[in-house]
Structure 1
């Protein structure tokens, strides 16, 4: 039997690809440095996944699958090179696993995971058993393992990651382009090169669903249209598909739209999902109805628990626009006092967007705790730390902000700042998600949170 070995299999994206690879009848093994929720889900599904990176794990594998985050010094990758075992990027493995499917690929600087999950959920609700590979758990789809699901229909949904250019390996029937902002310049080198990659992606599809509210997206969309791509725009005005507070409207026909997760941006994401699902033939009314039951995804405004009147919400936001949007969504849902534990991800992103992060975190009635930068695949950049963000913040009266480098210590501080009625938010794409449970444990062990107005805030 053919065997693919996945290095870093516990990651959100890798676990989805592993699931879909296994569904094609390929034996899957994998390794990671720890047991994430995705890792455990794969193990529960019967896959041979192990903690630690042992070179012997790859012996006998027919291919080794990696992401950009896996360094050449990884002992398993080094062993694969030594044995001349083919090494595939995860996007290559995913393309193989979905060969013959009609792809809907969701791209953009932010919002990809939620929108991909919305498309998958809406298709299932409309009776289309679509496969999907999404970078988070998709709630409400029976049989999904982590962010991966192998369906019986000829349609598949993929979250198309632009961070390393790998999204250009997909050749979708329908592409969604949500937004384009400067990010991942460590890979692209310039904003112009980043935009060119999105332009190449947009031209390589039959139908492009493009956000009319993003000027760069529209510039890319016009070029795609000139190349013969059918472009369908969406937005709150002046678009082919317009979204109002109550409905989606296309060609004069209105479809009631209810989006159960907070944030005005989520209605835009839902309109993109509806448009794409309809473009592959799903019933428009059933798609709109299905979106009303969308339960969200893991780490996207996910309620992790509540203790004594304190809610703990976890979110993957790691770009300044995402951070601002998720905090605005909290306010729009009626939250008053916020405690925000933010962990910047990547030194290059922190350096590039320090002022924008500072602006996003400078909010009223909030205590902000910034943990140390999660470097992930990067080496530190001298002079770039979480203090770089704090130094640029303008903290409103009644709010506080501080840097606590150690994540566990930062979680303890965040828990201590909560009071009855507070919403604590763990925000970032790194290990900060672990802090949500630490905060809940601290709240449980510390007794009832103090009543509002009893000190410690301001």
Structure 2
């Protein structure tokens, strides 16, 4: 396939505001690989810029109207995410000058043109499932293009321009922008109300997935987890509308469905036995947790729909090494294993801690948890507490507000005071967390930093302090 033919004219000279974000940096990678001129800006420097600059991107730190011309002339389009506010000086200048402004999802949809598209959606598990499918297809030598909300451990990349005619993308429901895509293969892992700061109500959140299913191409397929009741209901509605549906889970009965028969933890991963098309298959998964095994089954079904051989997909899934910030091993010091995880919704926290409990063996589980968003903390404080009670020691940080302004009375204490069954420590001072964690951790323990904010920075510091205290530094 010709790179020149694949590049939409509107994106030949693109300027990306907030180019360091996970989604935006991925779009920049693909644009550069297809020969586009790319410029961009962000509020602060990022490790992602090293590769982008090496590929030819012009990146400015700080956002100013004059950055639009940093690549030597006016851009053909300016690309933004929902996080970019209307008063951003570059966005305001683009509108004043009549430069087309595209949402990130619109740019990605443009890059999908000419490909067979697979979109992975769902409240939880979409990054891991997208990553598993990508790695499995690569193992089958199909070289897919991909755009994922996290970096693959195998390549260290969150996006790639492939030559295989397939495009795999994580489809983000948080702002409803996934309704721009028209996939041939759509996966919905689960539907559980979230992002109500945007959608408003649980009913509106569920409704956006119904609209997403209507975006599937006439010859396409919807793949859903039948064990998740809202996803199963979504499948029934889609089927009534004439969409072909394949299901996976413990309760499925269709010949083309993947019935999960059992899951057996094994080492740092597990084996899930499924029944598919009259055959029983043992699918090895190299990452822990039954929820990850279910994601692998979803990826397997999606891969077969994209024309990949079943055996090759299974081999690729067995070799999948995980995604950055999805139970990512950071190191070991003083007999303590340290991991980092992105879980930031109660269901994700509970699922991951079940997996962590097995990985910890005879050791204790120590969690450093940072709530993400004031609205989510207020709405799910009790559910977070129940999930975190699965650990032995819990350190709750203050809320990472991200795009939200502080809300009076909404702090990490709302969660900490509800936790039972675990020893709880509420520590609102970020600079004291490393010391506290090292005082709590004992040889044989598994410590995991958890959340979608800057808690991810703490793992290396904990390891360094544990080393210093043990005298091995």
TM-score (norm 2): 0.90
**CA displacement at 1:334 relative to structure 2:** 3.4
Alignment of 1:12-411 (within 5 A): 12-59=22-69, 60-141=74-155, 146-205=157-216, 206-239=220-253, 240-243=257-260, 244-245=262-263, 246-335=272-361, 336-364=363-391, 366-394=392-420, 396=421, 399-411=422-434
Residue 337 to residue 194, structure 1, CA distance change in 2 (3 Å): same
**CA displacement at 1:51 relative to structure 2:** 2.6
**CA displacement at 1:197 relative to structure 2:** 0.5
Q: Which moved more, 1:436-445 or 1:369-378?
A: 436-445
Matched position secondary structure for 1:257: strand
Q: Deviations over 1:61-107 (max 9, x none)?
A: 22221111122233322332332322211111111122111111000
The residue number in structure 1 matching 2:456 is 433
Residue 301 to residue 211, structure 1, CA distance change in 2 (3 Å): same
**CA displacement at 1:204 relative to structure 2:** 1.9
Residue 185 to residue 53, structure 1, CA distance change in 2 (3 Å): same
Residue 54 to residue 415, structure 1, CA distance change in 2 (3 Å): farther
Q: Deviations over 1:313-343 (max 9, x none)?
A: 0111111110111111111223421221111
**CA displacement at 1:25 relative to structure 2:** 1.9
Contact preservation (8 Å) 2:370, 2:396: yes
Q: Deviations over 1:33-67 (max 9, x none)?
A: 22333333433444223332233212322222111
**CA displacement at 1:388 relative to structure 2:** 1.2
Q: Deviations over 1:382-423 (max 9, x none)?
A: 2211111112222x2xx4212222333223322332221122
Matched position secondary structure for 2:157: coil
- Alignment partners' CA distance in 2, 1:7 and 1:97: 18
Q: Which moved more, 1:21-30 or 1:89-98?
A: 21-30
Residue 138 to residue 69, structure 1, CA distance change in 2 (3 Å): same
**CA displacement at 1:344 relative to structure 2:** 1.0
Contact preservation (8 Å) 2:79, 2:103: yes
Q: Deviations over 1:140-174 (max 9, x none)?
A: 24xxx630011001111000000000011110000
TM-score (norm 1): 0.92
Count how many residue pairs are aligned between Structure 1 and Structure 2.
442
The residue number in structure 2 matching 1:452 is none
Matched position secondary structure for 1:153: coil
Contact preservation (8 Å) 2:326, 2:342: yes
Q: Which moved more, 1:94-103 or 1:153-162?
A: 94-103
Q: Deviations over 1:99-123 (max 9, x none)?
A: 1111110000010100000000011
- Alignment partners' CA distance in 2, 1:408 and 1:43: 33
The residue number in structure 2 matching 1:454 is none
- Alignment partners' CA distance in 1, 2:321 and 2:121: 21
Residue 411 to residue 86, structure 1, CA distance change in 2 (3 Å): farther
Residue 444 to residue 51, structure 1, CA distance change in 2 (3 Å): farther
- Alignment partners' CA distance in 1, 2:143 and 2:280: 26
Contact preservation (8 Å) 2:224, 2:231: yes
Pairing 1:3–2:13 present = yes
Matched position secondary structure for 2:467: helix
Contact preservation (8 Å) 2:360, 2:446: no
- Coordinate RMSD, CA, aligned: 1.8
- Alignment partners' CA distance in 2, 1:37 and 1:411: 23
Gaps of 5+ in 2: 1-10, 264-271
Contact preservation (8 Å) 1:408, 1:435: no
Matched position secondary structure for 2:319: coil
Matched position secondary structure for 1:97: helix
Contact preservation (8 Å) 2:338, 2:446: yes
Q: Deviations over 1:345-367 (max 9, x none)?
A: 11111111111111111125x22
Residue 448 to residue 114, structure 1, CA distance change in 2 (3 Å): farther
Match of 1:413 among 436, 439, 442: 436
Residue 276 to residue 135, structure 1, CA distance change in 2 (3 Å): same
**CA displacement at 1:448 relative to structure 2:** 5.0
